[in-house]
Amino acid sequence: MKTIGHFIGGKHVEGTSGRFADVYNPATGEVQAKVALASQAELAAAVANAAAAQPVWAAQNPQKRARVMMKFVDLLNRDMDKLADKLSSEHGKTFVDAKGDVQRGLEVIEFCIGAPHLLKGEFTDGAGPGIDMYSMRQPLGVVAGITPFNFPAMIPLWKLGPALVAGNAMILKPSERDPSVPLMLAELLQEAGLPDGVLNVVNGDKEAVDAILDNPTIQAVGFVGSTPIAHYIYHRAAETGKRAQCFGGAKNHMIIMPDADMDQAADALVGAGFGAAGERCMAISVAVPVGDETADRLIEKLVPRVEALKVGPYTAGDDVDFGPVVTKAAKENILRLINSGVEQGAKLVVDNRNFSLQGYEDGFFVGPHLFDHVTKDMDIYKTEIFGPVLSTIRAKTYEEAIGLAMDHEYGNGTAIFTRDGDTARDFASRINIGMVGINVPIPVPLAYHTFGGWKKSGFGDLNQHGPDAFKFYTRTKTVTARWPSGIKEGAEFSIPTMK
């Protein structure tokens, strides 16, 4: 049985805690590896390693750090298929989707090549008599990233790219469910020229997370995962004086207006709702058609599309729309919520509760499900299912539809499909949600904009990637400098003022 350890000080090291977690092949249900779970002492040793390496790295000018990112981009492109294959084998998503996972992370690294510009401060010449004033953006020191199972390449890259190029050292604690790709990224960064110890990958569970939060050397924590854990980490980080950005769960609504292109809307819903088996924080899990006629037309379009979806292992190639969910526990929870929807009165229009894939009966496959006549008091509406389940909740008016999205506790992403520009502009202006799509079902911003949800989907002042990432991973120092002109006027005892 393969054993997966940590990456510390520029090399792979075995775990010493004696504790391990199983890493499954989601398609077969078999355990394919054991991953070491770090102790507090192991985490502390990694932090000490990072703290020793960080000053030398930070002392390199931004252009030299950016050149490491340039080389890293080349290596990511070189090993794209290798990374995607390993990602699929541990996560279960299709090979094409896995390549997209790597690609969307790579794009953030491309943005990081512009660090010399993004790290520039401000300067005021002649702020007062003989006085200049300027600001500097300086790294925090040692920072940490705690990343989820559903994007084992993209989100680690979102965290480590800006943090490292800004001059910090990082402790990356990836999900123990699919830990191999983050370790591969660390290897590639070392090959790209990152000094040993600047990035340490420490696998672990809650013990490692708490050790990160309690370690006084770590200055900031970036997290993506469920809302309860996001809130826990944000609260604990605040208690210990750490900077934190914590992103949690989602329940993303897509509003379909009567004037929408119904084929376009149906295709968008199927892709956004069932891609990656629904294991995306930006998945559309709630369709909100406005008016019963719109709803009936939409359901008529959706049913054959959902029924035609092909579920299978990533090894089946392009003939698969989505693969298994990540664990048996995830599968059981999804089926439990589906059953609750039926019991609470929703109409299960496409029912695949008895889905079984021949030859992969022990895999964690869940067939696609489509609900109609969902109401906002049902568990399947209130809860993030994180599976291949699309719920349809009918709204009588546009105001009712927008109110559903605005009243929900989550505010990660949303979309509207319409041909009317006035409606689209009103929606974008009024909606209290962080990322908005207009005829775009999954409005994930490109790397040079920022990604982040509102309400219980996000905790913290600054978002991920884009300019916000460089603000998060640096602190501003403002310098006021006076260079006397040569005229000596003696000491001043009153506070300086403009004259």
The catalytically annotated residue of 250, 281, 286, 295 is 281
What's phi and psi for 371, nearest 5 deg? -105, 145
112 as an active site residue: the answer is no
| Residue 403 C-alpha from the chain's centroid | 26
Q: How many CB atoms lie within 10 A of CB 52?
A: 14
Neighbours of 423 (CB within 10 A): 18
Closest CA relative to residue 445, chosen from 454, 434, 429, 460 = 434
> How far is it, in rounded angstroms, from Cα 330 to Cα 24?
13
Of 359, 350, 338, 252, the C-alpha closest to 301 is: 350
Contact residues for 433 (Cβ-Cβ < 8 A; gap 6+) = 405, 406, 411, 412, 413, 414, 453, 454, 455
DSSP for 342-359, please give it: HHTT-EEEE--TT---TT
Alpha-carbon span 496 to 387, nearest angstrom: 63
Q: What are the Cα distances from residue 298, in Å, to 240, 260, 301, 306, 318?
A: 50, 10, 5, 12, 27
Which parts of 53-201 are beta strand (E)?
A: 123-128, 131-139, 142-146, 169-173, 199-201
Active-site annotation, residues: 281
